[in-house]
Structure 1
């Protein structure tokens, strides 16, 4: 059975999957004033993305194996 994700969470995970994103870029790009739209936090809580520290890059957000599976399952 296919796991259906929130379309915005899926869009976010797909965006991060293109390349690891700097934490600051994620905050800037996906910020919202609505407390009900916590797209990147929802993706992190579900294990689709994770924070990592890379030498020379600092804190980044990258897709996890679970996030890659989500993308495949949803045809992305």
Structure 2
């Protein structure tokens, strides 16, 4: 991943971790039809997020997503 993509991925993961949004909220905010801005789709493919069934279901970070967020967010 390039750095700009990482920054947006981290922003999304942090947003999910802070608010426990519904699946519908996540899609409303993060789903894109732009082939160069696939933050939500890439996070799903990378195994960073998990969701319960249905549009009203909640989205949360997987252990892999939590590790990526904590490791990549560290200064240095």
Higher helix share: 2
Structure 2 residue 8 is matched with structure 1 residue 8: yes
**Number of equivalenced pairs:** 71
| 4+ long deviations beyond 2 Å | none
Residue pair 2:49, 2:65 contacting (<8 A) in 1 also: yes
Q: TM-score, normalised by structure 1?
A: 0.75
Deviation of the 1:8 alpha carbon: 0.9
Residue by residue, what CA displacement relative to the aligned partner does 1:6-38 show, whole Å, maximum 9, x if unpaired? 211111111101132101101111132312211
Higher strand share: 1
Higher RCO (CA 8 Å, separation ≥ 6 residues): 1
Summarize the alignment of residues 44-63 of structure 1 with structure 2, pairs less than 5 Å apart. 44-53=44-53, 58-63=56-61
Q: TM-score, normalised by structure 2?
A: 0.75
Unaligned ranges ≥5, structure 1? none
CA RMSD between the two structures: 2.4
Residue pair 2:10, 2:73 contacting (<8 A) in 1 also: no
Residue pair 2:48, 2:66 contacting (<8 A) in 1 also: yes
